[in-house]
Chains A and B, each alone.
Chain A
């Protein structure tokens, strides 16, 4: 000590100035027997307790994770071996645990040697230990995250750019038919002439039908012209009384895809007759026809798109109605929750605490929970969503309003009273001008929140676009779900901008 003026002993804590009760090796040994005991013996009781209970917690968590990793094994050693085998990360955890155990002993040792130097290393390591446990409990697996990331791409692509689904085309039916005479007479129907229109040509144009458990019918060679290329064509029949049915061949419906010129050809066996073989039939004309449904008409907005727009509008109005009712109920409540108005007597003060407590409880329960309850009461649909949001809005707005009332400047009230104004005039000219701007600002902000919330509320059946979104996700229609997401994002962005603009005007 060369500089006697610089004596800092008095700022060192009382307990740190006393020497350790035991020598350093004994302290280390004590901490090996009971972690933290060594620290306690060096007079750092609080440190010892923290380390002891932290160590116990770590031991408990590790035991839990091992039994969870090896649920079918009995006996600690078997569980340990199986656990390490099934979940290799537990090796890291065990290794860190061993270091922690030794470090606590080492901490006791160094603490006993130098009481005024309290190293923090053991606590840093404790934090690392908990981090490793958290990694294991959270089943964090960066490997699968990286290697399987590409599997999300198709879905992400559809969600990211879903607009193909926004447009659909009117379907156009191309159809051509040929008359078939049953059975053949001397003058079978004329063969169709190929024109610019879709045309079906059959050769021959007469034959006999197949008979159940008997002779197969005649074979027809069909040729189609001027159909839409690349789109399925169904071959169908129409009997004389107007029944339509599809041609089967080898147990399957006949479906042909025309080539790039719109031409196709196929051979078919004529279908079964519907009457029993004994019944005699006169000569009839049946029609064989080819039908193609092509989406080649005018582009129009798809039904999904229209539905999403409708539900988006519904969502905005759910938010609006919830805000509206929220305001109506929150206004009176906010006066009861304003301390400066309610601190006059103990009765009003009690009411203040009661109202505040109720508001806090309602506010701390998420709207999604309220929505589930509301769905039970009023059933699925927008009304349930409105109810849930109203409850939450009352609590949130009540609190914000009351804080606005609490923060008004008493100066103008005093000044207006001094002019001889009565109570009503004082409220109108000194109180209301001060609370209207924050009220408007909070209300607009709440509307913004309510619209955003109502998309979530929809997930549990509270109406609006969320309801639609969860359905699209469940049927794996990622494009439609993507459109919902886009609409929600656009609406929220617009609303955010508008509410910020309005709020800026009122401050």
Chain B
């Protein structure tokens, strides 16, 4: 009887999750009257605004990943090595983006960095892009920090550092050639999550008035019927692709570190 309830709950859960997706996918394929087709997808993919916004968001995602790696890896490493008592505080700080809404942050940015401020970043496109990357880095911080910190937990950071130091290595060499390669899988996990977050982000990009993929999806959704559904399926595919890659690299790490 218990098993029956379990199967029932699972079925309801799966239907709740998959039915809208199936419905949306089905709808996105019905652009041509009376038959299934990829017309909506072709139209979306051929749209120059799609190409521009997607390229823009991918570029910003890569910049965000780079900034995140440069910020998080040395910080998490240093906290583990020299300041372990700071770990709870650092973890708290990295969790803040989950409780502070993006809209609050972006209004704070606009107020602090507007054209009449001492650092008028919103005055130029490049400055606004820098601001947007900073905002994205903050949004991805909880995921990137946890991924890297978990990776660092799997290696003996202190002893490896001391071994490298005794062989003449300085801090940059240690981070670049010892620490980073040994937490690369964790960094990649964080990077894929960051990529998924940036590709779908709407609030910051819209309020900073930048041509990102999130605002484009919103505009398309407000004006078209089939294309938004196709776009949503594409966005889902990208996100799931990222999750699949995380699984893949995690499996690679497990097989690479198997004991004799």
Q: Do A and B come from one complex?
A: no
